[in-house]
A and B are shown apart, each in its own frame.
Chain A
Amino acid sequence: MDEIQKSLLKEVAALDALPVGAYNIRSNGKSAARNTTASIDIVTKSDKQGIDIIIKPGTKNQSVHIPVIISQSGLKELVYNDFFVGEDCDVTIIAGCGISNCGGEDSRHDGVHSFHVGKGSKVKYVEKHYGEGTGRGKRLMNPTTVIELAEDSVMELETSQIGGINDTLRVTNAKLAAGASILIHDKILTEGDQKARAELFVEMNGDGSSCDMISRGVAKGQSCQEVVIRIDGNAACNGHAECDSIIMDKGVILATPQLKATNVDAALIHEAAIGKIAGEQLMKLMTMGLSEKEAEEMIIRGFLQ
């Protein structure tokens, strides 16, 4: 692995060396390193690109790293990763994709992650997307996340795209059974002429299910973001969606929260706000010695933290 690839790996998965536990590192379209454990197996798909991650029932306090890095200009791939999480597990999954494109051709990674989370299990999923490079070729990513939560399971998602991706369509679809709950924190920063569209859709189908979705976006330069957040309440459930955005320069943000209730006991709430950085926030940090630019950077860093 060369220095560019190592740097990408650190950026998307905070890895300086091979991680502890199960992992599969995909580099320029191939598996570069893999490790399985007694309770977590990783199997290459035979019918298409991608892997199956099989986590045995009762697996606790273990992690799986599956970062993808692309440094070859012009590489385009569509990868399917399926996670089968058994019952009564407690695991952390670190995904993420980094593209470095210094060439003239577009590089593109489309990833479809499907989660089948067993009864009573708890999953934390962290996914970071990042792009860099000075070439004319674009850096493109289109992640799709499909989630099925069985009864009383819990999933927490921290997904982010902090700069460097020219164009993206990020889709998350989750279906919740009775007693299941999901917490989604999605963060996007766009700049220059980048474009991003995010669709977050949670369907609560069982009594006692709940969801909390928080989407935060910052659009700088002439970039454009579109965010659609939708919650369907089809049972006695609780849902909350918050879409909060900061707009700067000539950025454009279109935020659309949607609620649909088909059950009288579905309690659904949404909030959406778009605005520039408040002048009083800048002033407060300037009274503590920061320049206006430093204050602005600190506010955005905190907002997307």
Chain B
Amino acid sequence: MLRLENISFQADGKDILKQIDLTVDDRFVAITGPNGSGKSTLLKIIMGLLTPTSGRIYLDGEDITELSVTERANRGISFAFQQPVRFKGLRVRDLLELAGGRDKKGGERFAHACEVLSEVGLCAKDYIDRELDDTLSGGEMKRIEIAMAAARGTKMTLFDEPEAGIDLWSFQSLIAVFEKLYQETSGTIMIISHQERILNIADKIIYLKDGEVLEYDEGVRVMEHLSSDIRPAACSVLLNGRQNTYAGKR
């Protein structure tokens, strides 16, 4: 279970996140909201890539606010970046081995990581010795990034907009990867997405706007509100609904 307590984040004098107070105890949570609403910032704060201006973070009751990225990774948090990082010289194999882990079961998990790579549509034997440099397309890098995070099979996996840069044909296999991760682990998936197909399979949806959680409720209910959000006439109804829903969760 993840608990965010009064998390705020400021950058250049601007409030990016405003006193976020959330308890995530569902298995598949989607985060959505307009550009600049603070979605990526929120996930990066959970991973430790950014330090909150104020507030505390608890993972399974342990205060992890002061823990480094490495310590959080080793406690069971994984992160798939929106913009995958390229490395001159490092190969897909190197990251697969890392995803497999360094303990006795590393070998088995390496094989599992190869399977996940195949599941995102990249034949492992064709890609395992490819360099993670400019010779891979943006879409290939993105799928490798998602596969590596999923392959760690940790108790919490964070995906920052996995659909960005993915073609329509590969998208279906991504959904299957999330579903399999959901079924095979007992962990939590938090995923930033604007895709209706992902939002539809989420247990809960967090709707962020201007650094505030306007909604945090079951996917179906939030989707109803979001679809009415595009009709200006329904704005006032939606606003009341949001306040009621979020207040209820707190």
Contact B89 A304 (CB under 8 A): yes
Bound Cα distance from A118 to B69, whole angstroms: 56
Contact A302 B85 (CB under 8 A): no
Chain A residues within an 8 Å CB radius of B94: 298, 302
**B241 CB within 8 Å of chain A:** no
User: A261-305: which residues lie under 8 A (CB-CB) from chain B?
Assistant: 278, 280-281, 283-292, 298-299, 301-305
Bound Cα distance from A301 to B98, whole angstroms: 14
**A244 CB within 8 Å of chain B:** yes
**B70 CB within 8 Å of chain A:** yes
Distance from A247 Cβ to chain B, minimum over Cβ atoms (Å): 14
Contact A278 B85 (CB under 8 A): yes
Query: A107-138: contact bitstring with B at CB < 8 Å (1 yes, 0 no)?
Result: 00000000000000000000000000000000
Contact B81 A284 (CB under 8 A): yes
Interface size class of B (residues with CB under 8 A): 20 to 34
**B90 CB within 8 Å of chain A:** yes
Contact A287 B47 (CB under 8 A): yes
Bound Cα distance from A286 to B94, whole angstroms: 14
Contact B87 A288 (CB under 8 A): no
Bound Cα distance from A45 to B98, whole angstroms: 51
Query: B67-105: contact bitstring with A at CB < 8 Å (1 yes, 0 no)?
Result: 011100110011101001101111100110011011000
With A278-B85, A288-B98, A290-B70 in contact, do A302 and B91 touch (Cβ < 8 Å)? yes
Query: A243-255: contact bitstring with B at CB < 8 Å (1 yes, 0 no)?
Result: 0100000000000
Query: B92-123: contact bitstring with A at CB < 8 Å (1 yes, 0 no)?
Result: 00110011011000000000000000000000
Contact A292 B90 (CB under 8 A): no
Bound Cα distance from A284 to B74, whole angstroms: 14
Chain A residues within an 8 Å CB radius of B91: 302
Chain B residues within an 8 Å CB radius of A303: 87-90
Chain B residues within an 8 Å CB radius of A278: 85
- Say which residue of B68, B88, B148 sits within 8 Å of A288 (CB atoms): B148
Contact A298 B101 (CB under 8 A): no
Query: B44-71: contact bitstring with A at CB < 8 Å (1 yes, 0 no)?
Result: 0001010000000000000000001110
Bound Cα distance from A280 to B102, whole angstroms: 22
Chain B residues within an 8 Å CB radius of A280: 81, 85
Chain B residues within an 8 Å CB radius of A299: 87, 89-90
Contact B89 A302 (CB under 8 A): yes
Q: List 28 A-B contacts (CB under 8 A).
A: A216-B88, A216-B89, A280-B81, A283-B85, A284-B81, A284-B85, A286-B68, A286-B70, A286-B73, A288-B73, A288-B78, A288-B99, A288-B148, A288-B152, A289-B73, A289-B101, A291-B70, A292-B70, A299-B87, A299-B89, A299-B90, A301-B89, A302-B87, A302-B88, A302-B89, A302-B94, A305-B89, A305-B90
What are the 5 tightest A-B residue pairs by CB atom distance, in nearest-first order? A302-B89, A302-B90, A286-B69, A284-B85, A303-B89
By a beta-carbon cutoff of 8 Å, the part of chain B in contact with chain A is: 47, 49, 68-70, 73-74, 77-79, 81, 84-85, 87-91, 94-95, 98-99, 101-102, 148, 152
